[in-house]
Structure 1
Amino acid sequence: MATNLPMTPELEQIHGEIRDLFRALANGFQRLDKIKDSHRQSSQLEDLTQKMRECKRLIKEFDREIKDGEGRNPPQVNKQLNDEKQSMIKELNSYVALRKTYMNTIGNKKIELFDMGAGAGEPTAEENVKFASEMSNQELIKEGMKQMDETDQAIERSKQVVHQTIEVGTQTATTLKGQTEQMGRIVNELDSIQFSIKKASQLVKEIGRKVTVFLVAYMLFLICFNSVM
C-alpha cells in the first residue's frame, strides 16, 4: 500500500508488513463469520491471535524507528509518523475487541488472553506499546521483582513435587521390603511343614513294618500251638 508519509526504508518495510497483516486480519474475520463449526472457529481465532501479536511487535519496532530518527526529522514529520502509529494502534485495538467478542460467543477458554485493547479497567493503547526502554527505574525494578517472585514460587512448587515423589518412593520401598521378608518367612514355614510331613511318612512306614512282623510272628505262634495240641 503506497503512502505519502516521509519514511526511511526501514520504516516503509515495517509499515508495509503491518498493513499486510491488517488486510489478513480483515479477511480472516470475514471468513470467521462463515464458519459454523466451533472447533474450526477456535482454530481460526488462534491464527488471527498470532497475527495480532505480530502486529503488536511490528508497531513497537515502528515506534523505535521513529524515536531513533526524531533528531534528524523536522517536528512536522515526527508528528505525522506518530499520528500514523496511533492510527495503527487504534486499528489493531479494533481487531482485538472483535476477537474478544467472538471468544465470548464461542465460549472458547483454550485460547490465551490477548489483552491489548483499551477499555474500562484495561490498559490504554499507548500503554500497550510501552517499551522497557521507556520504563522508569522503579517500574523496571518492580517488574523484575515480580518476575523473580513468580520464578521462586514455581521453583518452590517443583521442590514440593520432588519431595512428595521421594516420600512415595520411600514408602513403596519399605512396603516392598516388608512383603519380601514376609514371603521369606512363608517359604521357611513351608520348608518346615514339608520336612515334618516327610518324617511322619517315614515313621508311618516304620510302624507298618513292625506291625507286619508282629502279626507274622503271632500267626506262627498260633500254628505251632495248634499243632502241639
Structure 2
Amino acid sequence: MSYQEAHQVFIQSHINRRSGERRGRLERGHQHAEMLFLQQVWYPLYGHFDDLHPEYEVLDLRGRPYFGDFAYLPGDLKFIWEIKGYGPHVLDMDRKRYCDELNRETFLQALGYRVVSFAYDDVAYRPELCITLLRMLLSRYQPSPSPASVALIAEKEVVRLHLKLARPIRPKDVEEHFSVHHRTAVRLLHSLVDKGWLRPVLRGKGIKIVQYELARGVLDYFD
C-alpha cells in the first residue's frame, strides 16, 4: 500500500469513528504541516499509523477542549506530537498565549502525556533530523523489532550516560552504572574508542588516560 493510500485509510477511519466537533476538528485541522509530518517523518520511520490519533482531544487545565496534532498511544505509553510553525508559535504569540501554551504542556505532562514538539522547518526541510530524534526517543520505550546485540546496547547506553553526565566519562562512571568490574568498564570504553565513538582525554604529560569524550556528533550514535 502506498503512503497516499495508507494515509487516506488512516484519516477516513478516524473520521468514521467521530462526530460533532471532534470530527469537524479533524476535517479542518489535519492540514499541510500535519500531513507533511506523516509523509516525511512518521511513515518513513514506521511504515504504518498504528496507535496514532490525529487531532486528539484532551481537556486543558481550565477544563476546555484542546486538540493535539497527534497522540501516540501504544499500550500504557502516552505521547502528544506537536508540529509548530515559527510564525504562529513565535512571531504572532503574545505573552498571555505564550504562558498559556507552557502551562498547558506542563498540565498535560502532569496527566501522564509526554509532549514533544517538532519545528515545521525541520519537518519540511530536515526530516532526517526529526526521524533520528524520534527514533532516539521511542527506542527508550519500545523493544527492537529484531534481536539487538547486547554489546551494541551497552555501547549506546554508555553514550547516553556520557550525555547525562555532561562531562568526560570515566571508567568509574561505567563501573557504577552497569555494576561491572573495572576491567570490564575499561574494555567497553576501549571498544568505543576503536569504533571512533569516543576519544581519550590525556592528562599530565599525555601518557595517562583517565577519561573519555565524544568524538563525533551526538546524533551519529543513534542512526
TM-score, normalising length: structure 1: 0.23
Which has the larger helix fraction? 1
- Structure number with greater Rg is 1
More strand per residue: 1 or 2?
2
